[in-house]
């Protein structure tokens, strides 16, 4: 249930109302906007008389909502959330471009790529140190050494880092990392989500390969329920019967999620399509659809990449995509 409070209500009236709700056994999520305050009631609201509530002087309106995600819900929090990643903002009109290799492979590779993507307009650096691979025989990442190399690349460029964490037990290794990515395969690793919720760090939460949008939002809710509102969602394609593309890019998820949630939405055309040639058109489509950012894989020499070479752009190709994104943004 949500209650919109009139702008004329005083602080003490709102406080009294919150106290009354809490006595009824429901938790209250207070969201103060520029023009009104919205109270989100979480828990069993069946005992609350909606007509009685609507009749109160300070209430603008009351609505019962059945969505199981509360904190992520735009109805509770009409204004866009802005997440700050090491000084780079995303959401609420702030657009971020996360670029870099699938995997961190060497100091030279990550520093060179970081410099190139920064020069071409990227605002955040990506690179996997811990890699979730389908085969246990494939390159698993440089692990802790990879995290150290990412920090060197940040020192060289100033770009804050986005990198994947695979388990709650790794959290202590990520203290100096700006944004923790939860990969598609871990979207429902609830223990990890809860630990990230307690950490308070910005989280880039990727949609699972067979996850519905509601499931993605419920995973965001796990993080937010622990008090961490710094969640960014990522559409990275879902599994369908199609085989020409690695996954099927669910472009409509971008505007749909924007209606459902106030959290920023990033599109990842690299994993969504698996094909370097499709990154430019799908990046442009994502921006036109309202994405708050993009995550794009870039490698100095894609044919030699230790993972995801087929979908990685060269720095020159990334520059071209970056210019196309800027043109779409200007047109909007
Ligand atoms: C990645 O970003 O390199 C990655 C493994 O992505 P996803 O979890 O979306 O497959
Ligand atoms: Mn990858």
Tens of pLDDT, residue by residue over 49-74, are 888 999 999 999 998 887 889 899 99
**Rounded to an integer, what distance in angstroms lies between the CA atom of residue 193 and that of residue 211?**
16
- Candidate ranges 2-11, 27-36, 232-241; pick with highest mean pLDDT: 232-241
Going from N- to C-terminal start, the domains of the chain cover 2-63, 83-331
What SS3 class is residue 326? helix
Considering the chain, what percentage of its residues have pLDDT values greater than 90? 90
For 236-274, the pLDDT digits (tens) are 999 999 999 999 999 999 999 999 999 999 999 999 999
Given this model, what pLDDT does residue 309 score? 97
Read off the pLDDT of each residue in 140-145 and give the average, rounded to a whole number: 98
Choice from 164, 189, 245, 311 to test ligand 1 binding pocket (greatest atom count within 8 A of CB): 164
pLDDT at 198 over 90: yes
Q: Please compute, for residue 40, the number of CA atoms within 13 A of its CA located in the half-sphere on the CB side.
A: 19
Q: What six digits make up the tokens of 9?
A: 């209500």
Q: Which of 48-57, 88-97, 186-195, 309-318 has the lowest mean pLDDT?
A: 48-57
Q: How would you classify residue 4: left for phi > 0, otherwise alpha for psi between -120 and 50, otherwise beta?
A: beta
Q: Which atom number of ligand 1 is nearest to the Cα of residue 128?
A: 3
Whether ligand 1 lies within 6 angstroms of the CB of 71 is answered as: no
Asked if residue 101 has its Cβ within 6 Å of ligand 1, the reply is: no
For atom 1 of ligand 1, the residue with the nearest CA is 102
Q: Whose CA is nearest to atom 10 of ligand 1?
A: 184
Look at residue 209 and give its three-state secondary structure: coil
Nearest bound ligand to CA 182? Answer: 1
- The topology under which CATH files domain 2-63 is Alpha-Beta Plaits (3.30.70)
Residues 6+ apart with CB under 8 A from 162: 85, 98, 124, 125, 126, 178, 179, 180, 181, 204, 295
Which ligand 1 atom sits nearest the alpha carbon of residue 236? 9
Task: Give yes or no for residue 262 CB within 6 A of ligand 1.
Answer: no
CATH code of the domain made up of 83-331 = 3.20.20.70
> Helix and strand tally (H, E) in the chain?
10, 14
Q: H helices within 158-300, ranges in order? A: 190-199, 213-225, 253-260, 269-273, 279-288
Q: Is 102 in the pocket of ligand 1 (CB under 6 A)?
A: yes
């Amino acid at each position: 249930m949500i209650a919109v409070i009139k702008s004329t209500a005083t602080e003490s009236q709102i406080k009294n109302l919150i106290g009354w709700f809490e006595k009824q056994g429901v938790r209250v999520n207070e969201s103060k906007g520029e023009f009104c305050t919205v109270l989100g009631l979480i828990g069993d609201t069946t005992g609350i008389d909606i007509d009685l509530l609507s009749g109160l002087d300070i209430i603008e309106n009351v609505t019962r909502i059945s969505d199981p995600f509360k904190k992520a819900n735009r109805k509770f929090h009409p204004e866009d959330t802005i997440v700050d990643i090491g000084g780079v903002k995303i959401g609420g009109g702030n657009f971020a471009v996360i670029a870099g290799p699938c995997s961190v492979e060497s100091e030279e590779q990550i520093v060179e790529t970081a410099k190139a993507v920064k020069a071409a307009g990227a605002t955040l650096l990506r690179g996997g140190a811990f890699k979730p691979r389908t085969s246990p025989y494939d390159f698993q990442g440089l692990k802790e050494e990879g995290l150290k190399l990412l920090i060197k690349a940040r020192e060289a460029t100033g770009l804050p880092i986005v990198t994947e964490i695979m388990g709650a037990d790794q959290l202590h290794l990520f203290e100096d990392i700006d944004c923790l990515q939860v990969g598609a395969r871990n979207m429902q690793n609830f223990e990890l989500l809860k630990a990230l919720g307690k950490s308070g760090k910005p989280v880039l939460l990727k949609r699972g390969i067979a996850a519905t949008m509601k499931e993605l939002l419920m995973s965001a809710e796990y993080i937010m329920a622990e008090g961490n509102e710094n969640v960014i969602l990522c559409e990275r394609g879902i599994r369908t019967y199609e085989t020409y593309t690695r996954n099927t890019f669910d472009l409509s998820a971008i505007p749909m999620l924007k209606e459902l949630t106030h959290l920023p939405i990033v599109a990842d055309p690299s994993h969504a399509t698996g094909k370097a040639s499709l990154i430019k058109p799908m990046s442009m489509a994502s921006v036109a659809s309202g994405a708050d950012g993009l995550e794009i894989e870039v490698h100095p020499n894609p044919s030699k990449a230790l993972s995801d070479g087929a979908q990685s752009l060269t720095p020159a190709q990334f520059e071209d995509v970056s210019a196309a994104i800027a043109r779409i943004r200007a047109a909007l």
